[in-house]
């Protein structure tokens, strides 16, 4: 019986899982919860025992498994009510819950160490409270893109003509023979629509994937006392999230602890004023809001669709149909060409109708087609359908429908490749705008440098310190206090003897590791002896951080400051020397310290100073009341120099940009000496460049210039030191007014205005805050300046590839348009039929776009100056190339049209096939010419573009199939080897013509400007 009723205590404990940190009320809930379930289990067993008195079980289990649902572990908290409390900021109801501490207990979260965070724990929480995801609006289906393709007016006209042609053809020739003309147009239109829909559908899917990647934000959390970064989608209720300036709040929650935390809730409320978050008056934090100042930790109370942000985001889909400036310009070009095509088509229609009704056309037997009242109505209608189809065909060939597709393909391909090159495009237009960039304003830390900081020098008083043992004990304690208590970083050691992990910004980590490894600082022990009263968090404007604290042992009040060396020095009136004595800081001593700072800065070191003062109770009350720490009469504790080495390859990347006609300017918060040293090391500044003091300025000096002087000086500035985010914004505005296309890098929250103002905003993927990323157009995933140079190269490549395709496409259009127009007016018929031109359109537009749009960047792109955004899309070089090729094709094909039958001794139908075949092969050879707009060697780098070679092969195979096997469908006749040889020979002449034409110099003045009166 005892065996039968024995319940394993460890089993119950593992199921009920009652942490020792629970408050008394919650412990009582736990006890009641365990008692109820144990009683039920025992009662159930006793009942079973009584029912089976006749037969005892042969083997009895040693324990009973209690089947407790996972969410029952959190049953003593009403999650729905808690969610509503946070959403409505109901402070009274929160107090009824027992406050934030009791909510944390109920959610089984340790306020300091967070949750365990193992797989089972997270799974249990997600099952009970949901995951931090929200359903996205459904993606556009393939059918949507098919319908979009059908909306093209040209396609609709062709379908109408195909229907009429099919109807009259079947009526005249019967079903067996009469369906070819109309059916062929149907098939060709179907192919065009299919290719267009598939292409657009695939690009849409790719943009959707990029959208998902960009929304996968990394969030810093505390698990088992250890800070770590996880995906925003892995956040669960009960998790402790760390917040700092620029972070996006990942879920709804409650403030646990922190200092000076201010949140921008404008995304939720529309109010631009920052909201202060604290334990007493407003502990509520909302998903989607941004941290504007301070730092802290929050307890997650609701995630995903339980948050207002989740509800809102599930109804919003990212607009992937954004039209870039280049697409807008191409649409304008397409429209202009389309109007010319319509005019020509209308002219052809009029000429053909007049020729028909005046009796100037003959049928296949040589008889006059129209003979007054003797001609049947059916014959007249058939003739009109044929004439309309010919006119519509001219419109089809005139409108370069492949241009929008080429842009889409180029942008999609370049986005994909840029992702592999560590650049994620958030805004499509940035791809092409980057190609026009004339100036790049870059940060220093992490972009030009590695962001792997290490303290290499420490000065105490006027002497460098080599050995920690030589430092006075009192000064050593002050250093440890200044580091341990005035920081947003943290230290984690899993067990004694294991490796120490430092977290925080690179500067914080460098200082913490220096204090721990050099001075044996015990951060947790120091924190036990002091109570933090007020904190002024670091930001890029103040360039310093301070802390007000009370020593628990004697209730004395202390202020510690840490920040940019010259700024902290200006706040000091005395300093500690190596022996621990306090010395007065007079003008002479101050000058000495300034020289020490300048010496470290000239060695590319970032200089940080520490200062301290003990204040009275009265001063403390004033400080807390004004929310401001004492900023004068401090005592300087010491100076540290932090080394941040330049990135490998950054000098070459800067030189590449400069060679390409793009100025690189460095904007940094470091002092002028550090900035000059790093700029010289990176190649931004030549050693002899700053002789007159115009190339390097401080932010404050630039800010205080008059607007006129600022505009005069801005072009000469290469380095701006000690700059604030406002100075960066001011420089961007001035450069834009001077006509520059400006790209700006930024990582901080305060960089957002400059990133938005710039033509191209580039944020940093590793060190960048979420605010900076949202304000940018492109995210540099590895924070490396070399990736910025790569983006510049890709931007130029996009523009260049589109120009190549425009040249190729317009050559096809001009040639086909002139040939059909001349033939229609002179002979009353078109040599290239509707079906043939549709297939040419399919092959040339789609496959040609794919071949030329996927050319990769070359060194030649960086040898030219940036392309002005006002420059015409069709340059003089392109006009020279396309007119030469088009004129050659027109001359050859019109010769074949009028003299081909006698020259080759062939029938009219074979001659039409020769014209069609020669026309297509001319485009195949001309596709090679289009690869290089200026260079004579069009085959350079061809072996690297396997897709181009594959498309050329597919085009030739399709042409052979159409000529040799699809006679009735394509309206062609088979050709013999000699005729094929003649076609290839005529088409191959495009290469030498292209080579000769590129020797002809062209004017800088745009070709079309000569046509204007």
| pLDDT tens per residue across span 320-333 | 455 667 777 777 77
Sheet holding 742-746, edge to edge: 423-425, 778-780, 760-764, 742-746, 439-442, 663-667, 719-721, 696-698
State the pLDDT at residue 427.
Answer: 83
How do residues 621-631 score in pLDDT, each as one tens digit?
877 777 788 99
pLDDT higher than threshold 50 for residue 359: yes
State the pLDDT at residue 714.
Answer: 93
Higher pLDDT, 375 or 726: 726
State the pLDDT at residue 67.
Answer: 38
- Average pLDDT of the chain is 82
State the pLDDT at residue 172.
Answer: 67
Task: Provide the pLDDT confidence category of residue 35 given band limits of 50, 70 and 90.
Answer: low
Q: What is the DSSP string of 551-569?
A: ETTT--EEEEEEEEHHHHH
pLDDT higher than threshold 60 for residue 147: yes
Task: Provide the pLDDT confidence category of residue 315 given band limits of 50, 70 and 90.
Answer: low
DSSP code of residue 843: I
Partners of 664 in beta bridges = 440
Q: Which of 258-267, 454-463, 713-722 has the lowest mean pLDDT?
A: 258-267
Looking at residues 242-255, what average pLDDT do you find?
A: 90
Higher pLDDT, 1 or 626: 626
State the pLDDT at residue 4.
Answer: 34
Task: Provide the pLDDT confidence category of residue 654 given band limits of 50, 70 and 90.
Answer: very high
Q: If DSSP codes are grouped into helix, strand and coil, which group holds residue 609?
A: strand
Higher pLDDT, 71 or 487: 487
State the pLDDT at residue 55.
Answer: 37
State the pLDDT at residue 378.
Answer: 74
pLDDT higher than threshold 60 for residue 79: yes
How do residues 101-133 score in pLDDT, each as one tens digit?
989 988 989 988 899 888 888 888 988 888 888
Looking at residues 79-103, what average pLDDT do you find?
A: 88
Q: Which of 6-20, 664-678, 729-743 has the lowest mean pLDDT?
A: 6-20
State the pLDDT at residue 995.
Answer: 93
Neighbours of 579 (CB within 10 A): 12
CA distances from 545 to 149, 561, 564 (A): 59, 6, 10
pLDDT higher than threshold 80 for residue 577: yes
Instruction: Give burial (CB, 10 Å; 0-12/13-18/19+) of 86.
Output: buried
Task: Provide the pLDDT confidence category of residue 81 given band limits of 50, 70 and 90.
Answer: confident
Task: Provide the pLDDT confidence category of residue 573 given band limits of 50, 70 and 90.
Answer: very high
443 is catalytic: yes
Which residue of the set 102, 105, 264, 443 is catalytic? Answer: 443
Percent of the chain exceeding pLDDT 70 equals: 86
Q: Which helix (DSSP H) or strand (DSSP E) does residue 173 occupy?
A: helix 153-178
CA distance 858 to 540: 39
Q: Which helix (DSSP H) or strand (DSSP E) does residue 572 occupy?
A: strand 572-576
pLDDT higher than threshold 60 for residue 71: no
pLDDT higher than threshold 60 for residue 31: no
Looking at residues 699-706, what average pLDDT do you find?
A: 92
Higher pLDDT, 169 or 254: 254
pLDDT higher than threshold 50 for residue 580: yes
State the pLDDT at residue 741.
Answer: 92
DSSP code of residue 606: E
Task: Provide the pLDDT confidence category of residue 51 given band limits of 50, 70 and 90.
Answer: very low
State the pLDDT at residue 1013.
Answer: 40
State the pLDDT at residue 479.
Answer: 94
703 near 596, Cβ under 8 Å? Answer: no
Higher pLDDT, 497 or 340: 340
State the pLDDT at residue 70.
Answer: 43
| Strand pairing category for 290-302 and 252-264 | antiparallel
């Amino acid at each position: 019986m005892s065996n039968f009723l024995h319940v394993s205590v460890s089993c119950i404990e593992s199921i009920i899982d009652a942490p020792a940190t629970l408050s008394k009320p919650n412990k009582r809930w736990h006890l009641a919860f365990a008692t109820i379930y144990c009683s039920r289990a025992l009662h159930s067993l006793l009942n079973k025992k009584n029912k089976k008195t006749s037969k005892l079980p042969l083997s009895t289990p040693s324990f009973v498994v209690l089947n407790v649902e996972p969410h029952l572990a959190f049953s003593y908290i009403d999650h729905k009510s808690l969610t509503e409390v946070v959403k409505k900021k109901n402070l009274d109801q929160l107090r009824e819950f027992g406050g934030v501490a009791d909510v944390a207990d109920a959610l089984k979260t340790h306020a300091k160490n967070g949750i365990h965070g193992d797989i089972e724990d997270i799974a249990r929480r997600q099952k009970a409270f949901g995951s931090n995801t929200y359903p996205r609006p459904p993606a556009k289906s393939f059918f949507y893109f098919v319908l979009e393709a059908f909306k093209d007016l040209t396609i609709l006209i062709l379908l109408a003509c195909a229907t009429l042609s099919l109807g009259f053809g079947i009526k005249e020739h019967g079903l067996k023979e009469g369906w070819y003309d109309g059916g062929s147009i149907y098939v060709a239109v179907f192919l065009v629509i299919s290719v267009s829909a598939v292409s657009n559908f695939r690009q849409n899917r790719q943009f959707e994937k990029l959208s998902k990647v960009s929304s996968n934000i990394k969030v810093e959390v505390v698990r088992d006392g250890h800070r770590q970064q996880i995906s925003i989608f892995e956040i669960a209720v009960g998790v402790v999230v760390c917040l700092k300036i620029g972070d996006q709040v990942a879920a709804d929650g409650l403030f646990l602890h922190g200092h000076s935390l201010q949140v921008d809730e404008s995304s939720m409320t529309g109010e631009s004023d920052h909201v202060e978050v604290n334990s007493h008056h407003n502990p509520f934090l909302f998903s989607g809001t941004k941290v504007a100042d301070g730092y802290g930790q929050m307890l997650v109370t609701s995630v995903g669709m339980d948050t207002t942000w989740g509800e809102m985001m599930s109804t919003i889909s990212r607009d992937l149909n954004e039209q870039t400036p280049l697409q807008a310009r191409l649409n304008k070009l397409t429209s202009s060409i389309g109007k010319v095509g319509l005019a020509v088509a209308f002219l052809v229609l009029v000429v053909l109708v007049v020729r028909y009704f005046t009796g100037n056309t003959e049928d296949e037997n040589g008889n006059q087609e129209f003979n007054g009242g003797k001609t049947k109505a059916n014959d007249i209608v058939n003739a009109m359908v044929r004439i309309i189809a010919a006119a519509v065909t001219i419109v089809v060939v005139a409108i370069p429908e492949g241009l929008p597709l080429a842009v889409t393909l180029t942008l999609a391909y370049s986005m994909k490749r840029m992702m592999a090159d560590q650049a994620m495009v958030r805004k499509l237009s940035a791809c092409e705008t980057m190609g026009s960039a004339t100036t790049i304003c870059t940060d220093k830390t992490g972009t030009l440098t590695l962001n792997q900081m290490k303290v290499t020098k420490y000065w105490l008083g006027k002497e460098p310190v080599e050995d920690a043992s030589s430092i006075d004990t009192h000064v050593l304690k002050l250093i440890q206090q200044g580091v341990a208590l005035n920081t947003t970083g943290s230290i984690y050691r899993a067990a004694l003897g294991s490796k120490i992990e430092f977290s925080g910004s690179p500067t914080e980590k460098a200082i913490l590791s220096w204090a721990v490894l050099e001075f044996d600082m015990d951060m947790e022990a120091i924190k036990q002896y002091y109570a933090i009263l007020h904190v002024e968090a670091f930001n890029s404007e103040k360039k310093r951080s301070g802390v007000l604290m009370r020593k628990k042992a004697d209730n004395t009040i202390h202020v510690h400051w840490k920040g940019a060396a010259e700024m902290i020095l200006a706040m000091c009136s005395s300093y500690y020397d190596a022996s621990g004595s306090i010395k007065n800081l007079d003008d002479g001593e101050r000058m000495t310290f300034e020289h020490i700072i300048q010496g470290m800065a000239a060695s590319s070191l970032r200089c940080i100073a520490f200062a301290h003062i003990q204040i009275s109770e009265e001063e403390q009350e004033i400080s807390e009341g004004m929310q401001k720490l004492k900023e004068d009469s401090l005592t300087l504790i010491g100076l540290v120099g932090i080394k941040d080495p330049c990135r490998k390859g950054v000098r070459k990347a800067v030189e590449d940009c400069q060679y390409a006609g793009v100025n690189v300017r460095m904007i940094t918060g470091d002092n002028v000496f550090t900035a000059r040293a790093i700029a010289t090391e990176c190649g931004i500044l030549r050693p002899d460049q700053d002789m007159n003091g115009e190339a390097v300025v401080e932010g404050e000096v630039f800010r205080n210039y008059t607007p006129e002087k600022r505009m005069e000086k801005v072009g000469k500035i290469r380095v701006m030191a000690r700059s604030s985010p406002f100075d960066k914004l001011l420089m961007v505005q001035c450069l834009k007014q001077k006509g520059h296309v400006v790209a700006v890098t930024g990582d901080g929250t305060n960089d957002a205005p400059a990133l938005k103002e710039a033509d191209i905003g580039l944020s940093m993927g590793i060190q960048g805050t979420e605010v900076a990323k949202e304000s940018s157009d492109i995210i540099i995933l590895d924070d490396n300046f070399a990736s910025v140079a790569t983006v510049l190269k890709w931007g130029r490549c996009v523009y260049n590839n589109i120009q190549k395709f425009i040249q190729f496409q317009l050559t096809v259009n001009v040639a086909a348009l002139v040939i059909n127009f001349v033939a229609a007016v002179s002979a009353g018929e078109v040599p290239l039929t509707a079906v043939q031109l549709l297939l040419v359109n399919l092959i040339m537009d789609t496959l040609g776009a794919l071949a030329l749009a996927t050319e990769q960047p070359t060194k030649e792109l960086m040898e030219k100056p940036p392309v002005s955004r006002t420059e015409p899309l069709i340059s003089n070089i392109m006009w020279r190339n396309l007119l030469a090729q088009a004129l050659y094709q027109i001359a050859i094909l019109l010769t074949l049209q009028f003299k081909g039958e006698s020259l080759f001794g062939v029938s009219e139908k074979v001659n039409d096939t020769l014209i069609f075949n020669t026309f297509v092969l001319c485009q195949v050879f001309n596709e090679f010419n289009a690869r290089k707009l200026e260079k004579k060697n069009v085959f350079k780098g061809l072996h690297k573009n396997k897709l181009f070679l594959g498309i050329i092969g597919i085009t030739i195979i399709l042409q052979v199939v159409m000529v040799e096997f699809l006679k009735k469908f394509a309206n062609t006749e088979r050709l013999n080897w000699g005729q094929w040889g003649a076609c290839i020979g005529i088409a191959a002449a495009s290469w030498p013509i292209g080579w000769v034409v590129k020797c002809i110099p062209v004017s800088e003045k745009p070709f079309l400007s000569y046509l204007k009166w």
